[in-house]
Amino acid sequence: MNVLIVEDEKSLANEIASFLKSEGFLCELAFTGLDASEKIAVNLYDFVLLDLGLPDYNGLDLIVEARNRGNDTSFIIITARGAVEDKIHGLNLGADDYLAKPFALMELFSRIQAVARRKFNILNHNLKVGDFVIELQSRKITCKGNEVIITKKEYDLIQYLIINRNKVLTRNQLYEHIWGNILDDQYDSNFIDVHIKNVRKKLNEHAPTPWLETVRGIGYRVSLEK
Partner 1 sequence: MIKLRMKLALFNLLSKLVFTLLFLLLLPFLIERISLLQVDNELIQEREQVITLISRIGIEPFITSDNGNVFGSYNILKEEFISLERIDLKEDANYIDVSQRLIEGENITYRVLNYSFKVDGNTYLLEVGKSLSSILHTQKNIKKVMLLFLVFIILITFLTDLQYTRQLLRPLDIITNKLKGISNPSIFDKTPVRTTTSDFHHLDDALIELMRHIDQLFQNEKEITVNISHELLTPISVLRSKLENLLIRSDIGSEISTKIEESLKTLHRLQSLVNSLLLIARIESQQYLRDESFSVNEVLHEIISEIIPIAEDAGIIIKEEFENDFHIKSANRSLLFSMFYNILNNAVKNTPSQGEVIVKTTLYENNYTVTITDTGKGMTETQMSTLFSRFKTKVGNNPDGIGIGLAIAKSIADFHGIEILVNSIIMKNTSFSFRFPENS
Q: Which residues bind partner 1 (CB under 8 A)?
A: 9, 11-12, 15-16, 18-19, 22, 53, 80-85, 101-106, 151, 153, 167-168, 170, 172-173, 176, 181-191, 194-195, 197-198, 215-219
> Least CB distance from residue 4 to partner 1, whole Å?
17
Pairing of strands 126-129, 132-135: antiparallel
Minimum distance from residue 145 beta carbon to partner 1 (Å): 27
Residue 176, phi-psi category: left (phi > 0), alpha (psi -120 to 50), beta (remainder): alpha
CA–CA separation, 166 and 211 (whole Å): 10
CB 19 to partner 1: min, Å: 5
Q: Of 103 and 155, which has the nearer Cβ to partner 1?
A: 103
Q: Select 137 or 214, whichever has its Cβ closest to partner 1.
A: 214
CB nearer partner 1, residue 48 or residue 157: 157
Beta carbon of residue 151, minimum distance to partner 1 (angstroms, whole number): 8
Cα–Cα distance for residue pair 38/30, rounded to 1 Å = 10
Nearer to partner 1, 49 or 66 (CB): 49
Distances (CA, A) of 161 to 14, 28, 103, 191: 24, 27, 16, 16
**Local structure of 104: helix, strand or coil:** coil
